[in-house]
Chains A and B, each alone.
Chain A
C-alpha cells in the first residue's frame, strides 16, 4: 500500500483555517526574530487534532523555529501559542516539562544519544519518566522497535546506523511513551527514496492507527501533499496559503505555484539581490 492510499480524503475547503473541530495547536499573531532578522510577523495558524498537518516553506522560512516555539524551546516576542489548551509561553519550567511529556519530537537528524545503544536510546524516556520493572521496559522497547522494523538492530550503536535507520530509531524513541502529539522536523531530509517511503508510511500509520496528532515541517512538497490532511505554506514570516493538498495544488498564487512545482523562475528570484552584473565585472569600484 502506498502512502497516498493511506491518506484519508479531506472535505475541508481551501481557506486559511481547517474546518471546525477540536484543535491541538492554535498560533495567534506570533512575532519572532533573531536580533534584527524577522522570522515571523503576525503568524496565525491552527493544527487540527488527530490529523496530519504539514507546514511547508522554503529553507530559512522559520519552519523548524516554529516547532521550537511550539515545544517551548524558544519564546515568542509577541502573540501566543496554545498547545493542548495551554499557552506555552506562560508556562513555568515544571508545567512545560509536564506538557512535553505528552509530546514527541522527531529531529531532523534523529539526535540519538551517541553513547547509548539503540535499545538504551529508546528506553531512555521510559527510564527517566517511569518506574517500570526492567522486564516491562524490555518488552515496551522491543515492541516500539518492532513497529519501526528495527528490533533486530537493538544492540547497535548510532554510529553503526544509516541515516534512515537512525531516523526510525529516533521515531521509536519519541513514541515510546505514547505521545498525544508528534512534531516532525524535516523528517525526509537526506534520505534515499526507500528510507523516505518507510518514514512516510510510519508517520501515516502512527496517525491512522493511534490517532496521534502529527505536525510535519518540511520542504518536500510532493511527499507532504501525499500524506497530509491539511497544509500551510509559510514564507516571509506569515502564512501564504492553506488548505487540503488538492486545493494547494490548484492555488493560483504565483508564489505558491512556483513553490509547489519547484520552478527556478517566478516571484522567488534565482539571483540574490545585488548590483548589476556588468557593474561588478567592469565597474570602476570593486565590490566589497
Chain B
C-alpha cells in the first residue's frame, strides 16, 4: 500500500502544482480590471517590460531577417523563384518566427527580470510588508506587471517582424539586387491580414499570458533566499521556453 501511494505522489504533486498555477492565473486575470483602473502603474510597467527587451528584440529580428533571406534566396534561386523572397520571409516571420522567437527572447530578458524582481521583493520581505499594510500584493504588484507583459508581447513581436522584413530587404534588394517592386508586391500578394497577421498577433498575446504568468508565479513564490531567487529565475526561463514551444504547436495545429 505504501508503495502504491509512493507511486501516486509525483502525480499528486504535479496536479497540486498545476492547480496552484491555475489559481494564480485566474486571480491575475480577475485583477486585470483593477490594473486598468490604475493606468499610471500599468503604463510604468509596460514601459519597463518593453524597454528592457526592445533592443534585443529589434537586433534579433534584424539578424533573423538577414539569415532567412540568405537561406531562402539560395533555395529559391534553384527553382528560379527568387521573386517570392519578400512574401516567403514575411510569412515565416508573421506566422512563426516573429511570435515564437520574440516570446523566447522575452522569457530570457523581461521574464527573468520580472521573476528576479518579485523574488527579491519576497526575500527582502517587501511583499510581506505590503500584506501587513493591508495592501493586496497580487493587486498592487502582480496585476500591473501581468497586464503589461500580455500587451508588450504583440508589440514586441510586431517590432521583431518589421525588423526581420528590413533585414530581408537589405539582403534581397541591396545585396542580391532583386527588384524592389517585385519584392514588395510578392509580400502584398502572399500575406493575408487575418490568417497571417492577426493569427500571429493572437499567438503573441497567448505567449504573453504564458510568459508573464510563469515569470510572475515563479518570482512571487520564490523561496526567500539568494538561492531561491536564482532558482526561481532559472525556472521561469526553462518553463516559459517549454510552454512557448508546446503552445506554438497547439496553436499552429488549430490555426493553420
Cβ 8 A contact of B129, one of A101, A107, A129: A107
Q: Does A78 contact B (CB under 8 A)?
A: no
Q: Are B133 and A125 within 8 A (Cβ)? A: yes
Q: Does B242 contact A (CB under 8 A)?
A: no
> How long is the Cα–Cα vector from A105 to B128 in the complex, in angstroms?
10
Q: Are B125 and A103 within 8 A (Cβ)? A: no
> Closest residue of chain A to B124, judged by CB?
A111
- Contact mask for chain A residues 103-133; partner B; CB cutoff 8 A; 1 contact, 0 none: 1010111011110000000001100110000
> Closest residue of chain A to B133, judged by CB?
A125
Q: Does B140 contact A (CB under 8 A)?
A: yes
Cβ 8 A contact of A124, one of B120, B128, B133: B133
Residues of A close to B131: CB separation below 8 A: 73, 100
Q: Are A128 and B124 within 8 A (Cβ)? A: no
**B residues 124-150 touching A (CB-CB < 8 Å):** 124-126, 128-129, 131-136, 140
Nearest CB on A from B31, distance (A): 14
> How long is the Cα–Cα vector from A73 to B131 in the complex, in angstroms?
8
Q: Are B129 and A105 within 8 A (Cβ)? A: yes
Residues of A close to B126: CB separation below 8 A: 111-114
Residues of B close to A138: CB separation below 8 A: none
Residues of B close to A124: CB separation below 8 A: 133, 135
Most buried by B among A71, A97, A108: A97
If the complex has contacts A109-B125, A111-B124, A113-B126, are A73 and B132 also in contact, measured as CB distance less than 8 A? yes
Q: Are B128 and A111 within 8 A (Cβ)? A: yes
Q: Are A73 and B133 within 8 A (Cβ)? A: no
> How long is the Cα–Cα vector from A129 to B136 in the complex, in angstroms?
11
> How long is the Cα–Cα vector from A73 to B130 in the complex, in angstroms?
11
> How long is the Cα–Cα vector from A111 to B130 in the complex, in angstroms?
9
**A residues 34-66 touching B (CB-CB < 8 Å):** none
Nearest CB on B from A144, distance (A): 14
Q: Does A8 contact B (CB under 8 A)?
A: no
> Closest residue of chain A to B131, judged by CB?
A73
If the complex has contacts A97-B134, A100-B133, are A128 and B125 also in contact, measured as CB distance less than 8 A? no
If the complex has contacts A97-B134, A98-B134, A114-B124, are A128 and B140 also in contact, measured as CB distance less than 8 A? yes
Residues of A close to B135: CB separation below 8 A: 124-125, 128-129
- Contact mask for chain A residues 74-101; partner B; CB cutoff 8 A; 1 contact, 0 none: 0000000000000000000000011011
> How long is the Cα–Cα vector from A128 to B139 in the complex, in angstroms?
11
> How long is the Cα–Cα vector from A125 to B135 in the complex, in angstroms?
8
> How long is the Cα–Cα vector from A105 to B134 in the complex, in angstroms?
11
Nearest CB on A from B209, distance (A): 25
> Closest residue of chain B to A125, judged by CB?
B133
**9 closest residue pairs by CB, A with B:** A111-B129, A100-B134, A111-B125, A97-B134, A105-B132, A101-B134, A128-B135, A125-B133, A71-B132
> 15 interchain pairs (CB within 8 A)?
A97-B134, A97-B136, A100-B131, A100-B132, A100-B134, A101-B134, A108-B125, A109-B124, A111-B125, A112-B126, A124-B133, A124-B135, A125-B135, A128-B134, A129-B134
19 further interface pairs, Cβ-Cβ under 8 Å (given A73-B128, A107-B128, A128-B133)? A71-B132, A100-B131, A100-B132, A100-B133, A100-B134, A103-B132, A105-B132, A111-B125, A111-B126, A112-B129, A113-B126, A114-B124, A114-B126, A124-B133, A124-B135, A125-B133, A125-B135, A128-B134, A129-B134
